[in-house]
A and B are shown apart, each in its own frame.
Chain A
């Protein structure tokens, strides 16, 4: 078997809080993401999952351990790791099209080719006809679609998604999940996706890593053997429920443990 796309090896992240107290945000994190695989990290808020994604993006550096993409050690951010944030991060002064073309423009790609690429990805996220609008004229779901198209237009080796649908209402979130499933089915992009929503993790992922809090650790890895293509109807199937029970149990155990720690 080929080497994994992304390898996170024994990573720890420690820093000092404002009061000077040492904080261990992440400890002993090891995981791999195989090529063309959709991996999900699920965990409670504050478990350090966003920090883990930022480490992979190269926006922060690990205190211990190493992270490599295609066998190359990660050293700072780069366009081979496209990222979609939970907050709205479109450039307000650029139209939808120019937002999607941002990465291509700084890479010096000629205008005709940029246009061709942006048109394709705007179509993939279902926003054809909205190219000339500014972000303030879009809904939250539409902004996240543009952010996804912008990341994909750069042709990253891996797509990092940090709770991208976390700020959306539940109906919009369902629609976005379906769109992402469709899109992934067509491209089999390598994805590392972060969420606190167990349903979302099972629906989207080939593998789900369950994280624990304080310090953040990977508790277990669950292979999701639900058939693809997947649809939101699967959310109520028996197979889905069985996986959900297992993950919920795992997270629940962890929640009880951390409550017990806080009491002492």
Chain B
């Protein structure tokens, strides 16, 4: 018994792969089982907690009448556009901000001010300025992710070892070569990690924006379902968002291993 404890519950110690997969499966199964017991068992009213069957039916209905795909498509378009626009600006600016004091001096004050503003506080203003269409969602996602990305990527860039740059100079590199051939490659793993984390946040901002004002999208779908007390649809919306998040996260992980096999 003691040896089993030693093997499985020592801090930072590896456990067999099968054991890891087994525990993960059981954990997911427990959540689903609990849901089944509470809903099918009648412990919670169905308009508070739908059964898995109800949610599956809602999914089939949503697919049949096209509403699920339209709303998912709308959300995906908004999040991908907003996230890409933010990243395209944040990655180069962040790298420069972390390694060039002059860029840091220029960007830091504004960034630090905006970064602590909850984006939700800006939504009314954005609605006033750009309406409630896709442009507003993209703006919310842009503002929400850009400033966070900027600060995080600047930190990654700041963390590139001075010795790595210095050794490049002693090998004959000029400033331009050092930036393109050393500084930028050295930041890539950290940049990928930052993008992966901020994509998760972008989902939050998107749903917030859609909950406030929208005529399509998963956030709108959830809000609209609440008005009709369709908890099965609310659950469906939440599960779809969760799954999309999981897929994009795994996608980033795969991409990082594929593009940066040298990174630890």
Cβ A77 vs Cβ B164 within 8 A: no
A93 contacts B260, C-beta separation under 8 Å = yes
Q: Chain B contacts of A92 at CB under 8 A?
A: 186, 262-264
B171 touches A87 (CB 8 A): no
Interface size class of A (residues with CB under 8 A): 20 to 34
| B143 CB to nearest A CB, Å | 33
Chain A positions 175 through 202: 1 when the CB is less than 8 Å from some CB of chain B, otherwise 0:
0000000000000000000000000000
| A85 in contact (CB, < 8 A) | yes
Does the CB pair A102–B171 fall under 8 Å? yes
- The B175-213 residues at the A interface (CB cut-off 8 A) are 177, 181-182, 185-186, 188
B172 CB within 8 Å of chain A: yes
How many chain-B residues does the 8 Å CB contact rule pick out?
A: 22
Task: Tell me the complex Cα distance, A87–B261, Å.
Answer: 22
Q: Which of B164, B188, B260 has the most CB of A within 10 A?
A: B164
Asked if A59 contacts B166 (CB within 8 A), the reply is yes
CB–CB A82/B164 < 8 A: no
User: Which among A85, A91, A107, A160 is the interface contact of B172 at CB below 8 angstroms?
Assistant: A107
B3 cross-chain contacts in A, Cβ below 8 A = none
Tell me, rounded to whole Å, the shortest Cβ–Cβ distance linking B39 to chain A.
Answer: 49
Contact between A85 and B177 (Cβ–Cβ < 8 Å)?
no
Query: Which of chain A's residues have a CB closer than 8 A to the CB of B171?
Result: 79, 82, 102-103, 106, 150-151, 154
Q: How far is the CA of A150 from the CA of B172 in the complex (A)?
A: 12
For B181, give the chain A residue with the smallest CB separation.
A106
CB pair A93 B177 closer than 8 Å: no
Q: When the two chains form their complex, are residues B181 and A89 in contact, meaning their CB atoms are under 8 A apart?
A: no
Please judge, given known A-B contacts A79-B172, A83-B170, A106-B172, whether A89 and B161 are in contact too, CB under 8 Å: yes
Mark each residue of chain B from 109 to 120: 1 if its CB lies under 8 Å from any CB of chain A, else 0: 000000000000
The yes or no answer to B20 lying at the interface (CB within 8 A) is no
Partner of B170 from the list A81, A94, A135 (CB cut-off 8 Å) is A81
On chain A, the residues within 8 Å of B161 by CB distance are: 87, 89
Interface centre among A89, A135, A160 (most CB of B within 10 A): A89
Whole-angstrom distance from the CB of B128 to the nearest CB of chain A? 47
The reply to whether the CB of A257 lies closer than 8 angstroms to some CB of chain B is: no
Closest to A136 in B: B264
Tell me which residues across on chain B come within 8 A of A57, comparing CB atoms.
166, 169-170
A136 to B263, CA, bound (A): 8
Contact bitstring B240-264, A, C-beta under 8 A = 1, else 0: 0000000000000000000011111
The answer, yes or no, to whether B126 is at the interface (CB within 8 Å) is no
Output the nearest chain B residue to A134 by Cβ-Cβ distance. Answer: B262
A78 adjacent to chain B (CB < 8 Å): yes
Complex CA gap A92/B166 in Å reads 15
The smallest C-beta distance from B174 to any residue of chain A, in angstroms, reads 8
Report the minimum CB–CB distance from B165 to chain A (whole Å). Answer: 9
Which chain B positions have C-beta within 8 A of A54?
Answer: 166
Is B14 in the interface zone, CB < 8 Å from A?
no
* Contact partners of B261 in chain A: CB under 8 A: 134
A204 to chain B, nearest CB (A): 20
The complex places the Cα of A94 from the Cα of B168 at a distance, in Å, of 13
Q: From B177, B185, B260, give the contact of A91 (CB < 8 A).
A: B185
* Interface pair A83/B262, CB less than 8 Å apart: no
Output the nearest chain A residue to B261 by Cβ-Cβ distance.
A134
Q: A59 CA to B166 CA in the complex, in Å?
A: 7
Asked whether B167 is an interface residue with its Cβ less than 8 Å from the other chain, the reply is yes
User: Which chain A positions have C-beta within 8 A of B262?
Assistant: 92-94, 134-136
Report chain A residues within 8 Å CB of B186.
Answer: 91-93
B170, B185, B188, B264: the one contacting A77 at CB < 8 Å is B170
Can you name the residue of chain B whose Cβ is closest to the Cβ of A59?
B166
Mark B135-174 against chain A: 1 for CB-CB distance below 8 A, else 0.
0000000000000000000000000010110111111110
Report the minimal beta-carbon distance from B171 to chain A, rounded to whole angstroms.
4
Question: In the docked arrangement, what's the CA distance between A93 and B182, Å?
Answer: 9
Which residues of chain A come closer than 8 Å to B182, judged between CB atoms?
A: 91
Give, as a whole number of angstroms, the nearest-CB distance from A138 to chain B.
12
CB distance from A148 to the nearest CB of B (A): 12
- Chain A 87-100 against B: per-residue CB contact (8 Å), 1 yes, 0 no? 10101111000000
Q: How distant is the Cα of A78 from the Cα of B174 in the complex, in angstroms?
A: 9
A130 to B188, CA, bound (A): 25
Q: Which residues of A contact B188 (CB under 8 A)?
A: 93
- State the 5 A-B residue pairs at the shortest beta-carbon distance, nearest first: A79-B172, A103-B171, A77-B169, A83-B170, A89-B167
A-B contact pairs, 24 of them (CB 8 A): A57-B169, A59-B166, A82-B171, A83-B166, A85-B163, A87-B161, A87-B163, A89-B161, A89-B164, A89-B166, A92-B264, A93-B186, A93-B262, A93-B263, A103-B172, A106-B177, A106-B181, A107-B172, A134-B261, A136-B262, A136-B263, A136-B264, A147-B167, A151-B170
Binding site for A on B (CB under 8 A): 161, 163-164, 166-173, 177, 181-182, 185-186, 188, 260-264
